[in-house]
Amino acid sequence: MMRSLFAAAALAASLLASPALAADKLTVLLEWFVNPDHAPLVIAKEKGIFEKHGLDVDLVPPADPSAPPRLVAAGQADVALHYQPNLMLDQAGGLPLVRFGTLVETPLNTVAVLANGPVKSLADLKGKRIGYSVAGVEEALLSAMLGSAGLTLADVTLINVNFALTASLASGNVDATIGSYRNFEATQMRLEQHEGRFFYPEENGVPAYDELVYVTRRDLLNDARLPRFLDAVEEATLYLTNHPDEALRLFLKAYPDLNDELNRTAFADTLPRFAKRPGALDMARMERFAEFLKAKGVIPAVPPVSDYAVELKR
């Protein structure tokens, strides 16, 4: 009996003296500076959920927002946040990127106008100036939305305003914009005393799509870190859903510079849009959106979903 007790004590002491197993490093490149869209990732890091799943995750904002997908494809990072429509363009361009999870499962994009302006419906955009930031996908979205009101791109004037969407609209340089996010610019406009009216793509001729997805390169799809990453993100997302106030406090503790009305409101507005099953894949939905992009001439052909999106085995 005494020998057994001594042996157990010795084993316990040796375990305590041994260094903890190192967590697996995983580098995640964000698509933009840290903001409420990234709340599940921030909460997973701040609450130790990544650590619980054996991961040491670095969240890296990009110096160049266009770079993360290319860096992951080149093997310089493990995971990037990406926009589903732009992933289709990259896939058509030959980048070996694959979506393996979803962060924001609804569109955030909108067509925005001033609430007190002359545009009350999409049909009122005829003859108007529309500001945009990114050519290609946004033109396809706008074309479909105008089409739902009996208009075409020839009925409007497109003006590249870079990323000064709200400022261009508020100043009257354009009559509408495409690219303003419903969970951010809508509040920004209100706070700046320029109340907006917003038209949503998925309600006006555009198939629903995921705004933000997790991508990696194809040769990492069997990496055991990825399912654990998704498990951690799912756990963090459920915590956000069940405990929004506590989650907001954690988020602002990590990024106190975001503690203002705009970001607090954006945090609340984004909560219902996070994917509760981030690893799940709706193949029919993906196919519909790919067919839409093909019909609009954005991509040359509709590829098999398995070429650019998978559901990992867990």
Q: Are residues 152 and 299 in the same domain?
A: no
Task: Please report whether residue 4 resides in a domain.
Answer: no
- Contact between 57 and 26 under an 8 Å Cβ cutoff? The reply is yes
Task: Round to whole Å and give the CA distance between 186 and 101.
Answer: 27
The pLDDT score that the predictor gives to residue 116 is 95
Angstrom distance (rounded) from CA 123 to CA 36: 33
Specify the residue for token string 């909108």.
110
- The answer to whether residue 19 is domain-embedded is no
Among 60, 64, 67, smallest CA distance to 90 is for 67
> pLDDT tens, position by position, for the chain (314 residues)?
444 444 444 444 444 444 445 789 999 999 999 999 999 999 999 999 999 999 999 999 999 999 999 999 999 999 999 999 999 999 999 999 999 999 999 999 999 999 999 999 999 999 999 999 888 899 999 999 999 999 999 999 999 998 899 999 999 999 999 999 999 999 999 999 999 999 999 999 999 999 999 999 999 999 999 999 999 999 999 999 999 999 999 999 999 999 999 999 999 999 999 999 999 999 999 999 999 999 999 999 999 999 999 999 87
- pLDDT, residue 18, reads 40
For the CA atoms of the chain, what is the radius of gyration? 23
- Residue 21 has a pLDDT of 57
Instruction: Compute the half-sphere exposure of residue 129: CA atoms within 13 Å on the CB side of its CA.
Output: 12
Phi, psi of 101 (to 5 degrees): -170, 165
169, 186, 203 — which closes off a domain?
203
96 in the same domain as 219: yes
Q: Is residue 178 part of a domain?
A: yes
CATH number for 53: 3.40.190.10
pTM for this model (two decimals):
0.91
Spatial CB neighbours of 144, under 8 Å, sequence gap ≥ 6? 201, 204, 205, 206, 292, 296
> Is 91 within 8 Å of 97 (Cβ atoms)?
yes
Count up the domains in the chain and report the number. 2
- Domain boundaries, position 51: 24-105+210-307
State whether 232 and 298 are in the same domain.
yes
Q: Is residue 15 in some structural domain?
A: no
Collapsing DSSP states into helix, strand and coil, what is residue 64? coil
Query: Among 154, 185, 203, which residue terminates a domain?
Result: 203
Do 217 and 101 lie in one domain? The reply is: yes
Q: Collect all residues with Cβ–Cβ distance below 8 Å to 62 and sequence separation of at least 6.
A: 29, 30, 31, 32, 68
Last residue of some domain: 146, 174, 203? 203
CB atoms within 10 A of CB 240: 24
Does residue 218 share a domain with residue 185?
A: no
